[in-house]
Protein backbone atom coordinates (compact mmCIF):
# COMPACT_ATOMS: atom_id res chain seq x y z
CA UNK A 1 0.00 0.00 0.00
CA UNK A 2 1.49 3.33 -1.08
CA UNK A 3 1.08 6.43 1.04
CA UNK A 4 1.02 10.16 0.39
CA UNK A 5 1.15 13.28 2.53
CA UNK A 6 -2.22 14.99 2.90
CA UNK A 7 -2.56 17.93 0.52
CA UNK A 8 -4.65 19.79 3.09
CA UNK A 9 -2.66 20.23 6.23
CA UNK A 10 -1.35 23.12 8.29
CA UNK A 11 1.41 22.64 10.86
CA UNK A 12 2.05 25.05 13.71
CA UNK A 13 3.37 25.36 17.23
CA UNK A 14 0.72 25.70 19.89
CA UNK A 15 1.53 25.99 23.58
CA UNK A 16 5.03 24.63 22.94
CA UNK A 17 3.85 21.61 20.93
CA UNK A 18 4.28 20.99 17.22
CA UNK A 19 0.84 20.25 15.82
CA UNK A 20 -0.15 18.65 12.53
CA UNK A 21 -3.64 19.76 11.59
CA UNK A 22 -4.98 17.98 8.51
CA UNK A 23 -8.43 18.99 7.29
CA UNK A 24 -11.25 18.29 6.71
CA UNK A 25 -10.79 14.64 7.70
CA UNK A 26 -7.90 14.62 10.21
CA UNK A 27 -7.54 15.51 13.83
CA UNK A 28 -5.01 17.99 15.23
CA UNK A 29 -2.16 15.89 16.63
CA UNK A 30 0.91 16.99 18.55
CA UNK A 31 4.06 15.23 17.29
CA UNK A 32 7.82 15.67 17.25
CA UNK A 33 8.79 18.31 14.64
CA UNK A 34 11.10 15.71 13.03
CA UNK A 35 7.98 14.15 11.42
CA UNK A 36 8.12 16.98 8.87
CA UNK A 37 11.06 15.18 7.25
CA UNK A 38 9.12 11.92 7.14
CA UNK A 39 6.14 13.64 5.56
CA UNK A 40 8.44 15.15 2.95
CA UNK A 41 9.48 11.64 1.92
CA UNK A 42 5.83 10.92 1.07
CA UNK A 43 5.38 13.93 -1.20
CA UNK A 44 3.72 11.71 -3.81
CA UNK A 45 2.48 8.10 -3.70
CA UNK A 46 5.39 6.24 -2.13
CA UNK A 47 5.85 2.71 -0.77
CA UNK A 48 7.07 2.33 2.80
CA UNK A 49 10.25 0.51 1.67
CA UNK A 50 11.10 3.30 -0.76
CA UNK A 51 10.56 5.93 1.95
CA UNK A 52 12.70 3.91 4.38
CA UNK A 53 15.53 4.00 1.83
CA UNK A 54 15.30 7.78 1.56
CA UNK A 55 15.18 8.03 5.35
CA UNK A 56 17.91 5.47 6.06
CA UNK A 57 19.34 7.58 8.93
CA UNK A 58 16.12 6.86 10.88
CA UNK A 59 15.83 3.59 12.79
CA UNK A 60 13.30 1.40 10.81
CA UNK A 61 11.20 0.67 13.90
CA UNK A 62 10.98 4.35 14.82
CA UNK A 63 10.06 5.15 11.24
CA UNK A 64 7.30 2.52 11.18
CA UNK A 65 5.91 3.85 14.45
CA UNK A 66 5.91 7.40 13.11
CA UNK A 67 4.24 6.32 9.85
CA UNK A 68 1.46 4.58 11.78
CA UNK A 69 0.94 7.67 13.96
CA UNK A 70 0.85 9.91 10.87
CA UNK A 71 -1.69 7.58 9.23
CA UNK A 72 -3.80 7.69 12.40
CA UNK A 73 -3.70 11.49 12.42
CA UNK A 74 -4.74 11.71 8.77
CA UNK A 75 -1.43 13.37 7.85
CA UNK A 76 -0.54 10.38 5.63
CA UNK A 77 -3.18 8.83 3.42
CA UNK A 78 -3.46 5.40 1.83
CA UNK A 79 -3.72 5.18 -1.95
CA UNK A 80 -7.29 4.60 -3.26
CA UNK A 81 -8.85 5.20 0.17
CA UNK A 82 -11.97 7.39 0.40
CA UNK A 83 -9.91 9.80 2.56
CA UNK A 84 -7.32 10.16 -0.19
CA UNK A 85 -10.02 10.84 -2.78
CA UNK A 86 -11.61 13.48 -0.55
CA UNK A 87 -8.19 15.01 0.11
CA UNK A 88 -7.48 15.41 -3.62
CA UNK A 89 -10.96 16.78 -4.24
CA UNK A 90 -10.66 19.33 -1.42
CA UNK A 91 -7.25 20.51 -2.63
CA UNK A 92 -8.58 20.94 -6.16
CA UNK A 93 -11.79 22.70 -5.14
CA UNK A 94 -10.20 25.26 -2.85
CA UNK A 95 -7.30 25.80 -5.28
CA UNK A 96 -5.65 29.17 -4.80
CA UNK A 97 -7.56 29.93 -1.61
CA UNK A 98 -5.48 27.27 0.10
CA UNK A 99 -4.13 26.96 2.66
CA UNK A 100 -5.55 29.98 4.52
CA UNK A 101 -9.24 29.84 3.57
CA UNK A 102 -9.91 26.06 3.73
CA UNK A 103 -7.90 25.76 6.94
CA UNK A 104 -10.01 28.39 8.70
CA UNK A 105 -13.22 27.06 7.15
CA UNK A 106 -12.74 23.42 8.10
CA UNK A 107 -11.13 23.83 11.48
CA UNK A 108 -14.06 25.97 12.56
CA UNK A 109 -16.59 23.54 11.08
CA UNK A 110 -18.70 21.56 13.54
CA UNK A 111 -16.96 23.48 16.33
CA UNK A 112 -19.59 24.80 18.66
CA UNK A 113 -19.31 28.34 19.86
CA UNK A 114 -18.51 27.58 23.48
CA UNK A 115 -19.67 29.07 26.75
CA UNK A 116 -23.40 29.97 26.85
CA UNK A 117 -23.97 28.77 23.29
CA UNK A 118 -26.86 26.63 24.46
CA UNK A 119 -28.76 29.80 25.26
CA UNK A 120 -28.81 30.81 21.62
CA UNK A 121 -28.67 34.35 22.92
CA UNK A 122 -32.46 34.53 23.23
CA UNK A 123 -33.91 36.28 26.26
CA UNK A 124 -35.91 33.14 27.19
CA UNK A 125 -32.87 30.92 27.00
CA UNK A 126 -30.77 33.50 28.73
CA UNK A 127 -33.37 33.59 31.49
CA UNK A 128 -33.04 29.81 31.93
CA UNK A 129 -29.30 30.25 31.92
CA UNK A 130 -29.70 32.97 34.54
CA UNK A 131 -31.73 30.69 36.76
CA UNK A 132 -28.97 28.07 36.62
CA UNK A 133 -26.41 30.66 37.38
CA UNK A 134 -28.34 31.94 40.38
CA UNK A 135 -27.61 28.57 41.99
CA UNK A 136 -23.92 29.16 41.67
CA UNK A 137 -21.82 31.12 44.09
CA UNK A 138 -22.57 34.82 43.91
CA UNK A 139 -18.92 35.68 43.51
CA UNK A 140 -18.73 33.73 40.25
CA UNK A 141 -21.34 36.02 38.72
CA UNK A 142 -19.61 39.07 40.06
CA UNK A 143 -16.32 37.86 38.58
CA UNK A 144 -18.07 37.19 35.23
CA UNK A 145 -19.62 40.60 35.27
CA UNK A 146 -16.31 42.31 35.99
CA UNK A 147 -14.71 40.37 33.11
CA UNK A 148 -17.27 41.70 30.62
CA UNK A 149 -15.82 44.33 28.30
CA UNK A 150 -17.71 47.63 28.05
CA UNK A 151 -20.68 47.56 25.67
CA UNK A 152 -19.75 50.78 23.91
CA UNK A 153 -16.42 52.12 22.72
CA UNK A 154 -15.65 55.64 23.84
CA UNK A 155 -12.63 57.85 23.30
CA UNK A 156 -12.59 60.17 26.27
CA UNK A 157 -10.03 62.74 25.37
CA UNK A 158 -10.52 63.63 21.69
CA UNK A 159 -12.63 66.46 20.32
CA UNK A 160 -16.23 65.38 19.59
CA UNK A 161 -19.19 66.54 17.56
CA UNK A 162 -22.61 65.81 19.10
CA UNK A 163 -24.98 64.80 16.31
CA UNK A 164 -28.53 66.08 15.83
CA UNK A 165 -31.18 63.84 17.38
CA UNK A 166 -34.06 64.68 15.10
CA UNK A 167 -34.08 61.87 12.56
CA UNK A 168 -34.31 62.58 8.84
CA UNK A 169 -37.42 61.21 7.13
CA UNK A 170 -37.35 57.43 6.65
CA UNK A 171 -41.01 56.98 5.67
CA UNK A 172 -40.49 55.65 2.19
CA UNK A 173 -42.31 52.46 1.13
CA UNK A 174 -40.28 49.34 1.89
CA UNK A 175 -40.69 48.02 -1.63
CA UNK A 176 -39.12 51.18 -3.06
CA UNK A 177 -36.18 50.88 -0.69
CA UNK A 178 -35.62 47.18 -1.30
CA UNK A 179 -35.79 47.32 -5.08
CA UNK A 180 -34.25 50.79 -5.26
CA UNK A 181 -31.05 49.73 -3.49
CA UNK A 182 -28.11 49.47 -5.84
CA UNK A 183 -24.39 49.67 -5.32
CA UNK A 184 -23.27 53.14 -6.45
CA UNK A 185 -19.83 53.93 -7.76
CA UNK A 186 -20.44 57.48 -8.84
CA UNK A 187 -21.57 60.30 -6.58
CA UNK A 188 -22.74 63.84 -7.23
CA UNK A 189 -20.60 66.55 -5.71
CA UNK A 190 -22.08 68.46 -2.81
CA UNK A 191 -21.99 67.55 0.83
CA UNK A 192 -24.44 65.29 2.62
CA UNK A 193 -26.40 66.99 5.41
CA UNK A 194 -25.15 66.26 8.91
CA UNK A 195 -28.69 65.24 9.96
CA UNK A 196 -28.78 62.63 7.18
CA UNK A 197 -25.45 61.11 8.26
CA UNK A 198 -26.68 61.21 11.86
CA UNK A 199 -29.87 59.32 10.96
CA UNK A 200 -27.95 56.71 8.97
CA UNK A 201 -25.50 56.11 11.83
CA UNK A 202 -28.14 56.00 14.56
CA UNK A 203 -30.45 53.74 12.57
CA UNK A 204 -27.70 51.28 11.63
CA UNK A 205 -25.40 51.34 14.64
CA UNK A 206 -27.32 52.95 17.50
CA UNK A 207 -28.89 51.00 20.37
CA UNK A 208 -32.58 50.17 19.98
CA UNK A 209 -33.09 48.63 23.42
CA UNK A 210 -31.25 46.91 26.22
CA UNK A 211 -31.57 43.33 27.51
CA UNK A 212 -30.40 41.54 30.64
CA UNK A 213 -28.05 38.66 29.79
CA UNK A 214 -27.59 37.46 33.38
CA UNK A 215 -24.21 39.02 33.95
CA UNK A 216 -25.15 42.54 32.91
CA UNK A 217 -26.81 44.37 30.05
CA UNK A 218 -26.47 44.02 26.31
CA UNK A 219 -27.98 46.16 23.60
CA UNK A 220 -29.73 45.37 20.39
CA UNK A 221 -29.60 47.15 17.05
CA UNK A 222 -31.86 47.16 14.00
CA UNK A 223 -29.69 44.28 12.66
CA UNK A 224 -29.44 40.88 14.31
CA UNK A 225 -26.07 40.19 15.98
CA UNK A 226 -24.67 36.86 17.20
CA UNK A 227 -25.22 36.68 20.97
CA UNK A 228 -26.05 40.40 20.85
CA UNK A 229 -22.37 41.01 21.58
CA UNK A 230 -22.26 44.13 19.32
CA UNK A 231 -18.55 43.76 18.77
CA UNK A 232 -18.71 45.83 15.58
CA UNK A 233 -17.93 49.52 15.96
CA UNK A 234 -18.32 52.13 13.21
CA UNK A 235 -15.62 54.60 12.14
CA UNK A 236 -16.56 57.33 9.70
CA UNK A 237 -14.19 58.77 7.12
CA UNK A 238 -15.68 62.16 6.26
CA UNK A 239 -15.01 63.56 2.78
CA UNK A 240 -18.06 65.78 2.18
CA UNK A 241 -20.47 66.21 5.10
CA UNK A 242 -21.95 69.60 6.02
CA UNK A 243 -20.23 71.20 9.01
CA UNK A 244 -17.94 68.23 9.63
CA UNK A 245 -14.27 68.66 8.74
CA UNK A 246 -12.72 65.90 6.63
CA UNK A 247 -11.08 63.27 8.79
CA UNK A 248 -11.71 60.00 10.58
CA UNK A 249 -14.19 59.80 13.44
CA UNK A 250 -15.51 57.10 15.72
CA UNK A 251 -19.28 56.96 15.94
CA UNK A 252 -20.01 56.92 19.66
CA UNK A 253 -23.33 55.09 19.51
CA UNK A 254 -24.31 55.70 23.14
CA UNK A 255 -23.62 59.41 23.03
CA UNK A 256 -24.63 59.81 19.36
CA UNK A 257 -21.52 61.78 18.57
CA UNK A 258 -18.48 61.70 16.30
CA UNK A 259 -15.16 61.46 18.11
CA UNK A 260 -12.18 62.66 16.12
CA UNK A 261 -9.53 59.97 15.52
CA UNK A 262 -7.31 61.48 12.82
CA UNK A 263 -7.59 64.82 11.05
CA UNK A 264 -7.95 65.28 7.30
CA UNK A 265 -8.96 62.91 4.50
CA UNK A 266 -8.16 63.62 0.85
CA UNK A 267 -10.20 61.95 -1.90
CA UNK A 268 -7.14 60.29 -3.43
CA UNK A 269 -6.28 58.86 -0.03
CA UNK A 270 -9.81 57.49 0.42
CA UNK A 271 -9.55 55.75 -2.97
CA UNK A 272 -6.15 54.34 -2.02
CA UNK A 273 -7.48 52.96 1.28
CA UNK A 274 -10.18 51.13 -0.70
CA UNK A 275 -7.49 49.21 -2.61
CA UNK A 276 -7.26 52.03 -5.19
CA UNK A 277 -10.92 51.94 -6.19
CA UNK A 278 -11.69 55.43 -7.45
CA UNK A 279 -15.36 55.38 -6.48
CA UNK A 280 -14.41 55.42 -2.81
CA UNK A 281 -12.76 58.82 -3.34
CA UNK A 282 -15.97 60.18 -4.90
CA UNK A 283 -18.18 59.22 -1.93
CA UNK A 284 -19.31 61.73 0.71
CA UNK A 285 -18.16 59.45 3.50
CA UNK A 286 -16.78 55.99 4.22
CA UNK A 287 -17.72 53.81 7.16
CA UNK A 288 -15.30 51.20 8.49
CA UNK A 289 -16.80 48.31 10.43
CA UNK A 290 -14.17 47.25 12.96
CA UNK A 291 -14.49 44.33 15.38
CA UNK A 292 -13.62 44.74 19.02
CA UNK A 293 -12.79 41.05 19.33
CA UNK A 294 -12.92 40.66 23.10
CA UNK A 295 -16.65 41.48 23.17
CA UNK A 296 -17.19 38.34 21.12
CA UNK A 297 -14.39 36.11 22.44
CA UNK A 298 -15.35 36.63 26.09
CA UNK A 299 -18.56 34.75 25.39
CA UNK A 300 -17.53 32.57 22.45
CA UNK A 301 -14.00 31.31 23.12
CA UNK A 302 -13.74 29.07 20.02
CA UNK A 303 -12.41 30.43 16.70
CA UNK A 304 -15.85 29.96 15.15
CA UNK A 305 -16.72 33.23 16.90
CA UNK A 306 -14.69 35.04 14.23
CA UNK A 307 -17.08 33.74 11.57
CA UNK A 308 -19.91 35.30 13.52
CA UNK A 309 -18.10 38.68 13.51
CA UNK A 310 -17.98 38.65 9.72
CA UNK A 311 -21.61 37.53 9.47
CA UNK A 312 -22.57 40.42 11.74
CA UNK A 313 -20.75 42.82 9.42
CA UNK A 314 -22.87 41.56 6.53
CA UNK A 315 -26.07 42.26 8.42
CA UNK A 316 -24.94 45.76 9.36
CA UNK A 317 -23.82 46.37 5.78
CA UNK A 318 -27.28 45.49 4.47
CA UNK A 319 -29.05 47.70 7.00
CA UNK A 320 -26.63 50.50 6.08
CA UNK A 321 -27.37 50.05 2.36
CA UNK A 322 -31.15 49.98 2.81
CA UNK A 323 -31.18 52.94 5.20
CA UNK A 324 -28.89 54.97 2.93
CA UNK A 325 -31.26 54.22 0.05
CA UNK A 326 -34.29 55.28 2.11
CA UNK A 327 -32.48 58.54 2.89
CA UNK A 328 -31.91 59.22 -0.82
CA UNK A 329 -28.21 58.30 -0.74
CA UNK A 330 -26.33 55.84 -2.90
CA UNK A 331 -24.58 53.13 -0.85
CA UNK A 332 -21.48 51.09 -1.69
CA UNK A 333 -19.39 48.47 0.05
CA UNK A 334 -16.16 46.58 -0.40
CA UNK A 335 -14.15 43.80 1.18
CA UNK A 336 -11.07 45.03 -0.69
CA UNK A 337 -9.15 47.60 1.32
CA UNK A 338 -5.73 48.15 2.85
CA UNK A 339 -6.46 46.86 6.34
CA UNK A 340 -3.33 48.23 7.96
CA UNK A 341 -3.74 51.71 6.49
CA UNK A 342 -7.44 51.77 7.35
CA UNK A 343 -6.64 50.75 10.94
CA UNK A 344 -4.05 53.54 11.11
CA UNK A 345 -6.54 56.08 9.77
CA UNK A 346 -9.03 55.10 12.48
CA UNK A 347 -6.23 55.01 15.09
CA UNK A 348 -6.95 51.34 15.85
CA UNK A 349 -4.38 48.91 17.26
CA UNK A 350 -5.38 46.37 14.54
CA UNK A 351 -5.05 43.50 17.01
CA UNK A 352 -7.91 43.60 19.49
CA UNK A 353 -9.71 46.10 17.35
CA UNK A 354 -9.52 45.39 13.65
CA UNK A 355 -11.29 46.52 10.44
CA UNK A 356 -13.47 43.95 8.66
CA UNK A 357 -15.64 45.77 6.13
CA UNK A 358 -15.69 49.10 4.31
CA UNK A 359 -18.94 50.88 3.44
CA UNK A 360 -19.49 54.18 1.66
CA UNK A 361 -22.30 56.50 0.57
CA UNK A 362 -22.96 59.81 -1.12
CA UNK A 363 -25.54 61.60 -3.24
CA UNK A 364 -26.24 59.38 -6.24
CA UNK A 365 -25.81 60.97 -9.66
CA UNK A 366 -29.22 61.74 -11.12
CA UNK A 367 -30.39 61.61 -14.73
CA UNK A 368 -27.80 59.11 -15.86
CA UNK A 369 -26.25 55.82 -15.07
CA UNK A 370 -23.11 57.27 -13.53
CA UNK A 371 -19.57 56.05 -13.98
CA UNK A 372 -18.74 52.40 -13.44
CA UNK A 373 -22.39 51.27 -13.57
CA UNK A 374 -22.53 47.83 -15.19
CA UNK A 375 -24.54 47.76 -18.45
CA UNK A 376 -27.73 45.64 -18.57
CA UNK A 377 -27.41 42.13 -19.95
CA UNK A 378 -28.41 41.74 -23.62
CA UNK A 379 -29.21 38.82 -25.90
CA UNK A 380 -25.48 38.53 -26.66
CA UNK A 381 -24.76 38.29 -22.95
CA UNK A 382 -27.10 35.35 -22.57
CA UNK A 383 -25.59 33.64 -25.62
CA UNK A 384 -22.38 33.17 -23.64
CA UNK A 385 -23.96 32.59 -20.22
CA UNK A 386 -24.55 29.12 -18.79
CA UNK A 387 -27.83 29.67 -16.96
CA UNK A 388 -28.20 26.16 -15.56
CA UNK A 389 -26.29 22.91 -15.18
C1 LIG B 1 -19.11 41.89 0.47
C2 LIG B 1 -19.17 42.73 -0.78
C3 LIG B 1 -18.00 43.18 -1.35
C4 LIG B 1 -18.02 43.99 -2.48
N5 LIG B 1 -16.86 44.46 -2.98
C6 LIG B 1 -16.89 45.33 -4.03
C7 LIG B 1 -15.68 45.93 -4.50
O8 LIG B 1 -14.60 45.68 -4.00
N9 LIG B 1 -15.77 46.80 -5.53
C10 LIG B 1 -16.95 47.12 -6.11
O11 LIG B 1 -16.96 47.93 -7.05
N12 LIG B 1 -18.11 46.55 -5.69
C13 LIG B 1 -18.11 45.68 -4.66
N14 LIG B 1 -19.28 45.13 -4.19
C15 LIG B 1 -20.53 45.46 -4.87
C16 LIG B 1 -20.97 44.33 -5.78
O17 LIG B 1 -20.20 44.33 -6.95
C18 LIG B 1 -22.45 44.51 -6.07
O19 LIG B 1 -23.16 44.33 -4.86
C20 LIG B 1 -22.94 43.53 -7.13
O21 LIG B 1 -22.40 43.85 -8.38
C22 LIG B 1 -24.47 43.54 -7.24
O23 LIG B 1 -24.93 44.85 -7.49
P24 LIG B 1 -25.97 45.58 -6.54
O25 LIG B 1 -25.31 45.77 -5.21
O26 LIG B 1 -26.26 46.89 -7.20
O27 LIG B 1 -27.15 44.69 -6.39
C28 LIG B 1 -19.27 44.33 -3.06
C29 LIG B 1 -20.45 43.85 -2.50
C30 LIG B 1 -20.41 43.09 -1.36
C31 LIG B 1 -21.70 42.62 -0.72
Say which CATH number the domain at 252 has.
3.40.109.10
Quick check: 221 and 207 in contact, CB under 8 A? yes
Same domain, 100 and 185: no
Q: Do residue 163 and residue 19 come from a single domain?
A: no
Q: Which residue puts its alpha carbon closest to atom 21 of ligand 1? A: 183
Look at residue 387 and tell me if it is in a domain.
no
Tens of pLDDT, residue by residue, the chain (389 residues): 999 999 999 999 999 999 999 999 778 999 999 999 999 999 999 999 999 999 999 999 999 999 999 999 999 999 999 999 999 999 999 999 999 999 999 999 988 776 544 334 443 444 444 444 444 434 445 557 777 899 999 999 889 999 999 989 999 999 999 999 999 999 999 999 999 999 999 999 999 999 999 889 999 999 999 999 999 999 999 999 999 999 999 999 999 999 999 999 999 999 999 999 999 999 999 999 999 999 999 999 999 999 999 999 999 999 999 999 999 999 999 999 999 999 999 999 999 999 999 999 999 997 656 788 889 999 999 999 999 99
How far is 364 from 127, CA to CA, in rounded Å?
46
> Which atom of ligand 1 approaches the CA of 335 most closely?
3
Tell whether 136 is covered by a domain: no
Q: At what angle do helices 194-205 and 304-326 cross, to 10 degrees?
A: 140
Residue 184 CA: nearest ligand 1 atom is: 26
Query: CB within 8 A of 65, min separation 6: which ones?
Result: none
* Residues forming beta bridges with residue 263, ordered by sequence position: 247
Q: Is residue 310 located within the same domain as residue 170? A: yes
Residue 335 CA to ligand 1 centre (angstroms):
9
Instruction: Identify which of 281, 332, 333 to mutate to test ligand 1's pocket (most ligand atoms within 8 A of the CB).
Output: 333
Question: Do 356 and 280 fall within a single domain?
Answer: yes
> Whose Cα sits closest to atom 25 in ligand 1?
183
Distance 183 CA to ligand 1 centre (A): 6
CA of 334 to the centre of ligand 1 (A): 6
| Residue 10 structural domain | 3-107
Residue 151 CA: distances (Å) to CA of 1, 211, 217, 252: 58, 12, 8, 11
Ligand 1 pocket residues where CB is under 6 Å: 182-183, 185, 277, 333-336
Domain boundary among 85, 107, 129: 107
Output the CA–CA distances (angstroms, integers) from residue 161 to 164, 194, 333, 358, in the order listed.
10, 11, 25, 22
Q: Tell me the per-residue pLDDT of 207-257, one tens digit each, with 9 for 90 and over.
A: 999 999 988 999 999 999 999 999 999 999 999 999 999 999 999 999 999
**Atom 6 in ligand 1: which residue has the minimum CA distance?**
334
Domain membership of residue 380 (yes or no) is no
Report yes or no on 382 lying in a domain: no
Residues 329, 265 within the same domain: yes
What b/e readout covers 119-132, taking b as 16+ CB neighbours within 10 angstroms?
bebeeeebeebbee
- Write out the H or E segment, with its range, that includes residue 107: helix 100-107
Question: Is the same domain home to 157 and 73?
Answer: no
Q: Which residue minimizes the CA distance to atom 13 of ligand 1? A: 334
The domain total for the chain is: 2
Amino acid sequence: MRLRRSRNMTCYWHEGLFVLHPYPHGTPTAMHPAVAEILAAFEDWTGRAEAAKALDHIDPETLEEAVLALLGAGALLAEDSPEARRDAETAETWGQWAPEAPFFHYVTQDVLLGRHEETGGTPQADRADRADRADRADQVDRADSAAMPPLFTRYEDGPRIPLPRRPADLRIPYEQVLYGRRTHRDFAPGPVARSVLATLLATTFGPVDFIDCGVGGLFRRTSPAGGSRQEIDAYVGVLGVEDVAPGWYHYNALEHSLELRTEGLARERAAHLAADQEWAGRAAFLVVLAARLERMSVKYPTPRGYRVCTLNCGHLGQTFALTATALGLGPAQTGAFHDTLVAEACALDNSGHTPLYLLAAGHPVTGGEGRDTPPPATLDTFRITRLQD
